[in-house]
Structure 1
Amino acid sequence: YQGYMVDLLDLLADSVGFSYRLVPVYDGQYGLLKGDGGWNGMVGELLREEADIAAAPMFVTKRRKRVVAFSQSYREVSASIVMQTGSATALKVTSLRSLLRVDPKVTFGTPKNGAIARSLRKSNDSAVKAMFARMSANPELSFPADHEEGLKRVRRDPMYAYVLQDAIAEYWIRREPCDLMIVDEIEVSEYFGLAARKGSRLVPKLNKGLAKLKDTDVLDKLYFKWWWQGDQCHDTLGKRTLTIRSGSRQLQRYRSLGQRVSVTSDCIVAVIFAMFCVALNY
């Protein structure tokens, strides 16, 4: 395995002293509450003591915090609006507000039950409210099953604007065929954290290691390594992306992403959410 999260786990292991092994999460899910009261995904494996740490781009939510313990955040998450680079509409706009004004035919989308949709639904921003109202009026097109389907719709339809986590968007706009662009960002006040069982002695260790990595800008350097150094689209997208995202704001984006981990005596079994293991290559 290789990727941002593997590097992060290696750094934490060296910093606070543990060993680990990586195991893919069985069902490929982060963790949702099921109808029978149980949990699937990484959260379920933590609760069943099949894993010791869930290390993934997993949102810290109130519902998850009731059953597992989270470390301090290792990434603050924003939402990015992605459109085709060849979209005449996208080239005319520099913000969500201008996108709403320029063309009422633009369809917006985001996964229906995800944390981004939840944040958009709760937003008090008038532009975000207007965007989510369009989504709710056209649910069949606006709520794809996952990011793969959402990005396929963007590539098929120049009038489709897809809203997803900034780190995923920033990765894909820098990968061939270089046909995607970010037109704006939305603050959503969501965070990624590492998870462990309630009462786990690992959480204070993880917090100590993460604090040290933040203070020394190591997380920013990791983000640069896995997102920017592999940029395949400098000539076609670089200038446009830099213009939209702007200098100081861009530098703040250098923090990020993930896997799942479990501990057996002194060995931590890290269960990886594979999509993010090899630099988000699904």
Structure 2
Amino acid sequence: MGRFGNWSEERGWKFNNEFANRWEFEIDSDAETLDGLKLRVVVLLEEPFVLRAENSIGYEGFCIDLLIEMSQILKFTFSIIEVSDGTYGIEDESGRWSGLIGVLQRHEADLSVSAVTITYSRAEVIDFTLPFMHLGISVLLAKSAEDEQKSGLFTFLEPLSFSVWISLVGSYLLVSCTMWLLAKFSPYEWYDVQQIDSRDRSIDEHKNQFNILNSLWFAVGSLMQQGSDVIPRAAATRIVAVVWWMYTLIMISSYTAQLAAFLTVERMTTPIESTADLVSQQKIKYGTLSNGSTMNFFRESKIPIYERMWSVMQSTTPTVFVNSSREGIARAKAGNYAYLMESSMLEYYMERDCQLQRIGGLLDSKGYGIALPKGSPLRDILSRTVLRLQERTILEALKNKWWKDKSG
């Protein structure tokens, strides 16, 4: 390894000519600003970190606001380069990287302020500042229609079909009207009632207890197994009553049996509440972003459950790996697919779509950092600036701005 420079109490680090020419600038270790340097910043489009916009910069997002805050503190200017292939990059057999990591590895940019996860394999070829955001891998799953209906007001109607409920209501009205008509034309349902008029004279009045209201009350009382104080007397009305009682007995028995089976099946349906639940079933497939840090986590993990998940993902056809987070979320919303993604992006999409939910806790712990070419003299001063922004709660304010304030 060659000598990068010399240290002195007066100037701090003084890089040698070869190293200084490589970076085209010199930075003292205790420098507070970058004295008007113009830096090349490579970005990758990823909502809400970097988005195209019609403004003077051409971009907006959490990372763009972070870059602006840092440029104001350190007094530097910048130009933005968008990575051409739209990927973070993968390593080939020769050790060269593609995508955003490759741009930094080839020194085609001075830094990257994007959602770049700090990983060991990346840190071997590029440098990172202290993380500006902490996160982990989470499981995203769309809420099913059954989940939305479980606590509905009319859940008690589900044991019987709509046509059965309609036939029940129709039968109730038909029996009530039949009882009323038969009682009206049957002499056995009429009786005399003596009443006293205003002159204290006794008057006989002919009445029928099965008027339309009493007929409806008799039918509903029988249906609810409560009985009624109205009793049929004629043979015709008694026959109708017996038929109605048999019908209601069958309907109530069927409803009770169906309700018990419905509730039992609902209890036996085990909801997915953790990664272990996800692995133990086969109906719901799961996958990650292709060639991303999440995919690499499962590929290199030595934890048995994650090794099993990686084996399942590799063997599943059609492929469970997606080319973008939007594609993964769309597959999850289509059903029977869980998308394994970084928690920061999951929180962002959950704020905007109530159909999405997070399952379980974080699978790991990591962070996003500002990426730089290996050995960059910018690393220390940018790390100190990240700490300053964190202590001033500016990073938290920026996250609230892009995650919550813009969710409407």
Q: State TM-score, norm by structure 2.
A: 0.50
Q: Among 367, 392, 408, which residue is 1:216 paired with? A: 392
Aligned equivalents of 1:204 and 1:65: distance in 2?
Answer: 15
Deviates more, 1:40-49 or 1:197-206: 40-49
Q: CA deviation at 1:73?
A: 1.4
Contact 1:69–1:199, Cα closer than 8 Å, also in 2: yes
Q: Among 76, 84, 95, which residue is 2:134 paired with? A: 76
Aligned equivalents of 1:212 and 1:77: distance in 2?
Answer: 20
Q: Alpha-carbon deviations, 1:74-132, whole Å to 9, x = none?
A: 1222112111123547984433334556x542211113532212323455666545544
Does the alignment pair 1:118 with 2:296?
yes
- Structure-to-structure mapping, 1:188-207, within 5 angstroms: 188-207=364-383
Q: Which residue does 1:108 correspond to in 2? A: 286
2:375 counterpart letter in structure 1: G
Q: CA deviation at 1:140?
A: 2.8
Q: How many pairs align?
A: 229
Q: Which residue does 1:164 correspond to in 2? A: 341
Q: Which residue does 1:235 correspond to in 2? A: none
Contact 1:75–1:192, Cα closer than 8 Å, also in 2: yes
Q: CA deviation at 1:45?
A: 2.2
Q: Among 151, 158, 181, which residue is 2:329 paired with? A: 151
Secondary structure of the corresponding residue to residue 363 of structure 2: strand
Contact 1:47–1:68, Cα closer than 8 Å, also in 2: yes
Q: CA deviation at 1:216?
A: 2.4
2:274 counterpart letter in structure 1: S
Q: Among 184, 187, 194, which residue is 2:360 paired with? A: 184
1:218 counterpart letter in structure 2: I
Secondary structure of the corresponding residue to residue 87 of structure 2: coil
Does the alignment pair 1:94 with 2:273?
yes
Contact 2:89–2:99, Cα closer than 8 Å, also in 1: yes
CA RMSD of aligned residues (A): 2.7
- 1:119–1:99 distance in 2 versus 1, CA, 3 Å: same
Aligned equivalents of 1:71 and 1:212: distance in 2?
Answer: 13
Q: Among 8, 12, 24, which residue is 2:82 paired with? A: 24
Q: Alpha-carbon deviations, 1:36-85, whole Å to 9, x = none?
A: 54332223222333211111111222232222221111122211211112
Q: CA deviation at 1:211?
A: 1.0
Determine which structure has more spread, i.e. the larger CA radius of gyration.
Answer: 2
Q: Which residue does 2:401 correspond to in 1? A: 225
Contact 2:88–2:292, Cα closer than 8 Å, also in 1: no
Q: Alpha-carbon deviations, 1:190-245, whole Å to 9, x = none?
A: 3221111223221111011001112222212211110011224xxxxxxxxxxxxx
Contact 1:16–1:208, Cα closer than 8 Å, also in 2: no
2:337 counterpart letter in structure 1: Y
1:221 counterpart letter in structure 2: A
Secondary structure of the corresponding residue to residue 23 of structure 1: strand
Q: Alpha-carbon deviations, 1:133-174, whole Å to 9, x = none?
A: 5424425342233323322211222x2111111122122222
Contact 2:140–2:340, Cα closer than 8 Å, also in 1: yes
- 1:228–1:168 distance in 2 versus 1, CA, 3 Å: same
Q: Could you tell me which runs of 5 or more consecutive residues in structure 2 were left unpaired when the two chains were aligned.
A: 1-58, 151-270
2:348 counterpart letter in structure 1: Y
- 1:65–1:100 distance in 2 versus 1, CA, 3 Å: closer
Q: Which residue does 1:237 correspond to in 2? A: none
Q: Which residue does 2:55 correspond to in 1? A: none
Q: Which residue does 1:256 correspond to in 2? A: none
Contact 1:120–1:188, Cα closer than 8 Å, also in 2: no
Identity of aligned residues (%): 27
Deviates more, 1:19-28 or 1:204-213: 19-28
Aligned equivalents of 2:105 and 2:302: distance in 1?
Answer: 35
